[in-house]
Structures are given as structure tokens and as C-alpha cells.
Structure 1
Amino acid sequence: MIRLRQLEALRAVMSTGSVTAAADVLGISQPAVSRLIASLEKSMAMPLFERHRGRLHPTHEAKFLSEEVERAISNLEHISRLSEDIRNQKAGHLRIACLPGFATSLMPKVIAEFLKEREDVTISIQTRSSVRVREWIAAQQYDIGVADEFEGHTAIQHETVNIRTECVLSPLHPLAAQKVIRPEDLHNMPMIIQDQENRFHHRLKRTFEAAGAELNARVEVRQFATACLLAMNDVGAAVVSSIDAAEYAGRGLIVRQFKPELPFTLDLLYPKYHPRSLLLQDFISHFKERLSPFIM
């Protein structure tokens, strides 16, 4: 059985030209280097050096082997460095599936920050509807999914996060000066709301009904980002996630507290039968930290 230390001794002697210098390189004694060379020759059943006047001279066989030995040790060193990077969450690949709106708001910032000190980490991100994200996670095709209104699946583990919502308006809107906006304030005023396929649409509608206010759905959209842009252009008011509201607040959008509190449910999905890597666990922690200012 050939041992790595034997090959390291061979490389050191070949590259330095002497046992003394090889011992310095390896940080061991000269006799230890000689023993490693002798044991390697015994393992290979052939001489690797000729000994003349206390010096070692490589045989033709040793010269022939040296290139492969160098390649083998380099590969092992690479594996060692890579394993250390993986252990320290500085190498690997993550597959993320998420809602389209989320991919244009918080997620790019989360990924950019996460990759900043991880040069050997790669990420693939795919955006689709919540239904498709759930299908991908159930099929174990992605490491983490960001969806909404998760109803449960035997092949999926999940965490539910309630995101705070806020009312967004144009500076020209009649309610722009109010600090808190309620459904009765928006009675019969033009509203931009999510389409009827999304449960948040129905949750908002019930909130208006409970307050005895008329919900005037002037425009229905699929993404909160679209609602923010329309509100900025004075099409109407909108109740959106605080994540999207923060994204557009610095661009002239007026953001006001909405009462009563109406959470937007965000679900973090994980494939149940796919172990979470150390890298994924680190990403989840970073992601949750970035979400914390928006959680109810």
C-alpha cells in the first residue's frame, strides 16, 4: 500500500535534489525522509534512487513517476482545500426557486451579500409561480423555494413567515399626508390589488368588508412590484408587502402604515428527502436575517 507521505517524500527529494533539503521542506528529520523513500521503494518493488557517496540520484523509473506523483499530490491538495472551503461554507452550489416578484426585490440583494466573501460558491435561481416552485421542491430539484400560500406536501418541509404589509400611494394622492390608513379611508377609492388567483386578494377584500368599506379594484396585478409602480403613477392606492414598499420608497412612493395589520404569508420550502448542506444552512440564516425587518 502506497501512502501519501511516501509520495510527498519522493516529490520533495526530486524537487530539492537532496534528503537534507527535502527534510526541511517536509519539516521532518533526514532519517525519516530516508525511511519514507526506502519504504516506498519496497512498496513499489523497485529502486527509485541510486546511492553514490551519500547522495541520492533518481533512477529512470523515478523520473518517469515524478510527473504523475506531482499530479496526484496536487489533486489531493486541491481536494483538501476544497473540503475546507465546503466546511467553511465558501464553496459549493445552491439552487433557488422563487416567486418572480421576490426575484426582483429582496433576493438579488441577499444573493449579492452572500456571495461577496464566497468566491467559489455558485448559485442558480429560477422564477416561476408558487405552484411551479412547489412542484420543483417536491421533485427535489431545488435546495430552497420561496412561495406563498403553501398548503402542505408530503415531500416538502416548510417555514411560514408573516410579512408586514403597508399602504403605498402617490405624493398626489388625497391620503398621502395621513400617517395611518384604514379600509374606511380608502372607501370606494381606486385600488391596485393582486389578482383573484392569489389569496391575499380575498384577504384584503374581507378586511374591507369587515370595516364596511367598498373595495374599488381599478387594476388587478400579479406582483406587488407592479402595484408599487402603478401607485407611483397615481393610478390608485395599493396594499403591498413591506419588502416591495421599501424597494420603491426611495423613488418617490409614499409608504404609510396600514391598519388593521394584514400579513402577507411567505413560505420557505425545502425538499424533505434532500439533506441540507452546510452552505444551504448558512444561506438560510443569512436570508432570514435579511427578512427580519419586514416580519410581523
Structure 2
Amino acid sequence: MRQNWHSIREYESLRAMIIAGTTTAAAKQLGISQSAVSRSIANLEARVGNALFIRSGGRLEPTAEALGLNDALDPIFTALASIDQREPLGSAKPLLRVGAPPTIAHRFLHLRMSSFMKLQPDYDVFFDVCDSDRLIRNVADELYDVAVADFTTRQPGVMQIPFRRSKLVCLVPANSPLSEKDVISPADLEGYPIVSSVKRHPLRSTVDQMFARAKVEPNVVAETATTVANLEFVRAGVGVGFVNPFPIAESIGEGVLIKPIDDDVEFRTCFLLPASQAQSAGARALMRHIRISTRNDQWSEAIT
């Protein structure tokens, strides 16, 4: 009968793991032992019948099943938070609500958030990780004070402030013949196995249009929902992939090379804010901190 039980602790562990990326950090966030977090995740995976995290570069990245379950849990934790708020609060600290998609959250923002919280201890922080579609909806619905996203949007109710620019790159297995090329063109990939984004992802249409301009039919052998999954398929030698190099280039790891592409596709990483309300002091402080703490690199540069 165990499969019919629902454990708030297991759901808390899931949400902490999505944000923290390691059992050690999740345990510290929840104030419980590392083994308790691992046990909670294992129990939850057994009940839902799917893996909820995959290991990548020393971190545990959430699967699509984990992100979907996290979305479904939102109303439950919103209700619990509202119950807590009926009691007198022990702190008068302002709450800063921040959102990001998985790659930005785990490969870029978590370090900036940690340093921001040390420099700005007067804020309590709510840090949410979700897919791009829900991120945009939550900003428009004023559920976040600010979000950080590696894409632009025309969604009504969302104001965007670009702060980084980068160009589409090709991820190539280090032992591939393509590793000898300085620049990859679509024509180089005629018949070559390609790891692509899923069709709902904006990057998919961008890459498809690139191949169409070159009159090359892409040989898609796998589709992934996240940049991290794309990277790991390439590392395993499944094929080549196409990604926005920011911020994944900071932690690419061994076995994969980044190659520029002979096509001018630009990405802009943005702050997203609710258009219907004034920017909070916390949002302004966080955006300033992120700009200051992010240096230019080979693959991206600041937009001033």
C-alpha cells in the first residue's frame, strides 16, 4: 500500500534537489541529513516509476518527470505557505522571489544567488526552477519579482532587459572527425547524427531554419528537453548538438568541444520582470549583482 502514501518531506526533498543540485546542499537547505534526502528521492522515484534526476558534471539535474511533478506540487506548497503566513511572522525581512529555467539555475544563477544572499542578508529569498513556459507565465502573473532566462519573449505582461549576448555553437564529441574543424557549417553535417532540442523548444525552430537556409536535411537521431541533456548525449558520442553557449560553456567538462558555427544566430539572456508593477529594490539589487559578477568570456559578452 506504500504507493498510495504522499509525503510532504519527499516533495520538499524533490523541490530542494531541483534548486540545489546535490543531496548535500539540499539537506543543508532543509535542515535534515543527506541520507534522508537520498531516501526521500529514492522513495519518490519508486512510487512514480521514473528516474527524477540524472548525474551531470558532479550535479544531479532534474528530468522532465521531476520538473512536471514539481509544477503539479505548486498549488500544495502555495496553500501551505498561505497557512504559515496566517501566523505572526518572526522576521520582517522582505521576500525576493526569483525564477530560472534549469540550465540557467544550475550552471549560472545558483552561485550568483549564494553570493548575493551573503552580501544582502536583509532579504529572504524564494528561488524557483521551472521550464520556460511556466517561467514566463509566472512572471506575467507577478509570482516572481525577477527571473533570469536564456531567451527573449513577447509575452504580454512581461518586461525583458537583455544583459548578455552569445551566438549559437555546435557541441562536438572530442574524438569526432569534426573536432579538427575550426568552424562548423551546416554542409559539414550532411548525414551526420544530430542531437536536437524537442520541437516545443524555441531553439529547435532556430536550428531547423539554419539547415533549411543551407538546403541540408538534418539527421536527427535524438531529441532532448534541456541543454544539459543535449551536452551529455554529445559527450556519450550519440552525435553533435546545438546550444546557446551561455552559461553551459563555463562547465562543459571533458570529452566535448565547442565549435563556432558558420551562421549568425544570436541569443540574448534577459532579466524578466512583471510589466504591471514597479521593480522592487531587491530585484534591482540582484540584477546589479549579477551584472557585476559575470565576466565576458570567449562565447558571451555583456549588453550594457
Q: Report the TM range for the smaller structure's normalisation.
A: 0.5 to 0.7
2:205 to 199, 202, 205: 202
TM-score by length of 2: 0.61
Q: Deviations over 1:233-259 (max 9, x none)?
A: 111111111124414433332111122
Check conservation: 1:150, 1:267, Cα contact below 8 A: no
In structure 2, the gaps of 5 or more residues are 1-90
Check conservation: 2:147, 2:273, Cα contact below 8 A: yes
* Counterpart Cα distance in 1 of 2:254 and 2:173: 11
Deviates more, 1:126-135 or 1:167-176: 126-135
Cross-structure match for 2:87: none
1:243 to 235, 246, 252: 246
**How far off its partner does 1:265 sit?**
4.5
Q: Deviations over 1:201-242 (max 9, x none)?
A: 111111112112221111111111111111111111111111
Residue type matched to 1:116 in 2? K
1:151 to 148, 151, 154: 154
Cross-structure match for 2:124: 122
Check conservation: 2:148, 2:271, Cα contact below 8 A: yes
* Counterpart Cα distance in 2 of 1:178 and 1:196: 28
What does 1:1-296 align with in structure 2 at a 5 Å threshold? Answer: 92-147=94-149, 148-153=151-156, 155-160=157-162, 162-289=165-292, 290=294, 293=297, 294-295=300-301
Check conservation: 2:136, 2:155, Cα contact below 8 A: no
| Rg larger for | 1
* Counterpart Cα distance in 2 of 1:261 and 1:109: 30
Check conservation: 1:192, 1:218, Cα contact below 8 A: yes
**How far off its partner does 1:110 sit?**
1.8
**How far off its partner does 1:269 sit?**
1.4
Check conservation: 1:245, 1:255, Cα contact below 8 A: no
In structure 1, the gaps of 5 or more residues are 1-81, 84-90
Identity of aligned residues (%): 19
Number of equivalenced pairs? 207
Over aligned residue pairs, what C-alpha RMSD do you find?
Answer: 2.4
**How far off its partner does 1:266 sit?**
3.7
Check conservation: 1:179, 1:257, Cα contact below 8 A: yes
Pair 113,261 (structure 1): closer, same or farther in 2 beyond 3 Å:
farther
Check conservation: 1:149, 1:199, Cα contact below 8 A: no
Pair 164,110 (structure 1): closer, same or farther in 2 beyond 3 Å:
farther
Check conservation: 2:94, 2:122, Cα contact below 8 A: yes
**How far off its partner does 1:142 sit?**
0.8
**How far off its partner does 1:162 sit?**
4.1
Check conservation: 2:152, 2:160, Cα contact below 8 A: no
* Counterpart Cα distance in 2 of 1:232 and 1:180: 19
